[in-house]
Amino acid sequence: QVQLVESGGGVVQPGRSLRLSCATSGFTFSGFGMHWVRQAPGKGLEWVATISYGGHNDFYANSVKGRFTISRDNSNNTLYLQINSLSVEDTAVYYCAKDPRPRYSSGWYASWGQGTLVTVSS
Amino acid sequence: DIVMTQSPDSLAVSLGERATINCKSSQSILYSSNNKNHLAWYQQRPGQPPKLLIYWASIRESGVPDRFSGSGSGTDFSLTISSLQAEDVAVYYCQQYYSTLPWTFGQGTRVEIK
């Protein structure tokens, strides 16, 4: 079955960088668009970034544009999120999520990982 | 950006009773080209990631119990749990995926047992 396992979170100081990973299995990774969605402690869900199945197109929320970079390694079935210039407002659980259908961005998030917590604190 | 507003923020329902959550979009999310409402519902149990329940406003995801149903069109939508079970205690989110990004979520509705 579909498995998404995030890693790379931790406690980091403001202004520093972090790279999150999402290791996947159970489906043909190279055929599906992928997403990052975050959730600040006790708050709701916020879409962060999306990458097309081939990796040629990426999209970002205004709140992270210019600081976050989504990428993928289709040979290793892994999704990444590079986060630069971290601020306390970036403190959240970061989830990776998968499109429901291959080679087409349906709009909803069919499968989610368990998330990785990023805490930005001095 | 399309703003999604859920009501109420929380509700307490007795076991076996009906729970209804409302979701209102700041503009219509009924896409004329496919005549579909671009709305999904998710359930997030405590300490768990969100789980997809419904898409296209009323289509249940595979494996979701039929006590969950979605309805509505245009700007006004509802998620109904026909007979609340203990395992349904969770926060529920609506999400629109109309047109271009960003696809946005409602603020969430907490469902508890009365």
Q: Does A95 touch chain B (CB under 8 A)?
A: yes
Tell me the C-alpha to C-alpha distance, in Å, between residue B10 and each of B3, B38, B93, B113: 19, 24, 12, 11
Q: Which pLDDT does position B30 carry in this prediction?
A: 96
Count of A-B CB contacts under 8 Å? 54
- Estimate to the nearest angstrom the gap between the alpha carbon of A43 and the chain centroid: 17
- Angle in degrees, CA A33, A37, A41, rounded to 5: 165
Q: Which pLDDT does position B56 carry in this prediction?
A: 97
Q: Does A27 touch chain B (CB under 8 A)?
A: no
How far apart CA A50 and CA B31 sit, in angstroms, is 22
Q: Which pLDDT does position B73 carry in this prediction?
A: 98
Q: Does B104 touch chain A (CB under 8 A)?
A: yes
| Chain mean pLDDT for chain A | 96
pLDDT above 90 (res B100): no
Which element (helix H / strand E) includes B51?
strand B51-55
pLDDT above 90 (res A104): no
Residues of A in contact with B94 (CB under 8 A): none
pLDDT above 90 (res A103): no
Alpha helices for A10-121 (secondary structure H): none
Cβ <8 Å between A112 and B51? yes
Confidence band for A40, pLDDT divided at 50, 70 and 90:
very high
Q: Which residue has the tokens 């245009």?
A: B74
Is the sign of the CA dihedral A38, B94, B97, A32 positive or negative?
positive
Residue of B52, B102, B107 lying closest to A110 (CB–CB): B52
Average pLDDT over residues A74-92: 97
pLDDT above 80 (res B99): no
How far apart CA B83 and CA A100 sit, in angstroms, is 28
Number of H helices, E strands in chain B: 0, 12
Question: pLDDT tens digits for B43-79?
Answer: 999 999 999 999 999 999 999 999 999 999 999 999 9
